[in-house]
Amino acid sequence: MASFADIAIVSCGVMSLELRALQDEGFLDTEHILYTTPGLHQNPFELERQLFDQVKKAKETAEKVIVVYGGKFCYVNTKDPTRTMKTLILELQPNVVRIEATHCMDMIASEEERNRIAQEVAGGESVWWMTPGWIKYRNQVFKGMDKAEANENFGRHTGGAIVLDAIGFTEKYMEEKPEEFLDYSDWMGLPIQPYTVTLDRFKSMLTKAAEQMNG
């Protein structure tokens, strides 16, 4: 098993729940995990600022840094479309590697697996995918979006919203805060349901990045 003892992790706050679960189970043996504010895909300039700040801080405690961010969907620079997540990672060198995922849902389930789940749960209809962080950090992830915009944004997803949950967060949230959960569903104009998955894919991505650093 790869060791993360000499590696720091810088992640979007949306993935903090899964990363803490991996720390708790002993898979991640690093003490150095830093987070950026959840939902910064809506503010690429702030995302860039926080990412650079946190990687700089991470390098004060560890020589190597793994960045837990998606590629093409998490950072879209409208002012300079050629400036991509790949550009940022190159500028953050040396000793910085990003896990190979397109977005946080892809860290938990591959596109093939998501298609299979959509077929099983929603008869192949279009699904709006989420991870537990999209529930916990709803106000940050959808900052500034009103109900009309939400209905317009989510309306085409006739298969509803599915939370790829590897940590049992959503069911607990539904039990403890049923009104908030129903309010979220109403605001989106979609039924929300959890789908139980594992953290195996996320673990393999982190392991691959660690091996790349230690290679």
Q: Residues 149-179: pLDDT tens digits?
A: 998 889 899 999 999 999 999 999 999 999 9
Distance CA 70, CA 79 (A): 20
* Domain 7-105+199-214 architecture: 3-Layer(aba) Sandwich (3.40)
Instruction: For the chain, give every domain's residue range.
Output: 7-105+199-214, 110-196
Distance CA 118, CA 126 (A): 7
Q: What is the pLDDT of residue 214?
A: 78
Q: What is the pLDDT of residue 8?
A: 97
* Residue whose tokens read 């969907």: 73
To the nearest whole number, what is the mean pLDDT of the chain?
A: 95
Q: What is the pLDDT of residue 160?
A: 97
Is there a contact between 29 and 1 (Cβ–Cβ < 8 Å)?
no
Give the tens place of pLDDT for each residue, 38-87: 999 889 999 999 999 999 999 999 999 999 999 988 999 989 999 999 99
Percent of the chain scoring above 70 in pLDDT = 100
32 Cβ neighbours under 8 A, 6+ residues apart = 7, 8, 9, 58, 61, 62
Q: What is the pLDDT of residue 2?
A: 78
pTM confidence score: 0.95
Specify the range with the lowest mean pLDDT, choosing from 52-61, 67-76, 99-108, 188-197.
Answer: 67-76
**Average pLDDT, integer, range 110-126:** 96
Percent of the chain scoring above 90 in pLDDT = 88
**Average pLDDT, integer, range 134-155:** 91
53 Cβ neighbours under 8 A, 6+ residues apart = none
Q: What is the pLDDT of residue 72?
A: 81
* Residue whose tokens read 């999209």: 134
Residue 123 pLDDT level (bands cut at 50, 70, 90): very high
Q: What is the pLDDT of residue 186?
A: 94
